[in-house]
Amino acid sequence: MDLKKQLKEGLLTKNPVLAQLLGMCSTLAITTNLFNGLGMGLAVTIILTCSNVLISALRKAIPDQIRIAAYVVIIAGFVTIVDLLIQAFLPDLSESLGVFIPLIVVNCIILGRAEAFASKNGVLASAADGLCQGLGYTMALVIVSAIRELLGSGTFGGGLLNGGEGIRILPEGAAATLVVMPVGGFLVLGCVIAGAQYVSRKLQLRQRDKEAAK
């Protein structure tokens, strides 16, 4: 288990949103303020980590012919638990995210990591993979949410700070409401992906130069 490598992959080089382009529906739909982005990101991180651990622990007991169905059942169980907990303790978040919490069951990130990693590796490595990929997903959502909220509403920390109204950054009327609409989501996400790819490329070139210097 190479935790440093897994963290780098989760946050940048194999980021679920910024590199693999997975989970686009929820990314574009709920990233209108910081509260939504952070809440969805943490929910996916918890579900991804827990499902990875259980699938890894049961990987030798699950017949290959029904593995996808078994993975979906395991993921659905954790999604139900998280959904009920959010409804009980964070009703505002539950109302804001709506159907996108139950839809985590079919999120490509969760099933993809189960098939590509958890089913082939040990419990600790799978837990680290789920945590790192989940943190990368959360980071991407938080960045997109913060940008869309700032430019589209003129605030920061909506749903979390200042009684839920967020901290006013831009003057009233100065915000571009187009940014919090679907088209704005595509534009902001495209810019963030481009920035992440630029940084990733720079790191790759730097690593290549170091290896060449040796």
Tens of pLDDT, residues 50-66: 999 999 999 999 999 99
At 3, the pLDDT band (50, 70, 90 cuts) reads confident
Closest CA to 103 of 47, 168, 157, 144: 47
Q: What is the mean pLDDT of residues 28-48?
A: 94
CB 134 within 8 A of CB 45: yes
At residue 16, φ and ψ (nearest 5 deg) are -55, -40
Calculate what percentage of the chain has a pLDDT beyond 90: 72
What pTM value is reported for the model? 0.93
Calpha distance 177→125 (Å, rounded): 43
Q: Average pLDDT over the chain, rounded to whole?
A: 92
The CA-atom distances, in angstroms, between 114 and each of 27, 126, 197 are 20, 9, 25
DSSP state of 88: H
Calpha distance 96→98 (Å, rounded): 6
Per-residue model confidence as pLDDT tens digits over 98-132: 999 999 998 889 999 999 999 999 999 999 999 99
Flag whether pLDDT at 166 surpasses 80.
yes
3-class SS string, 43-64: HHHHHHHHHHHHHHHHCCCCCH
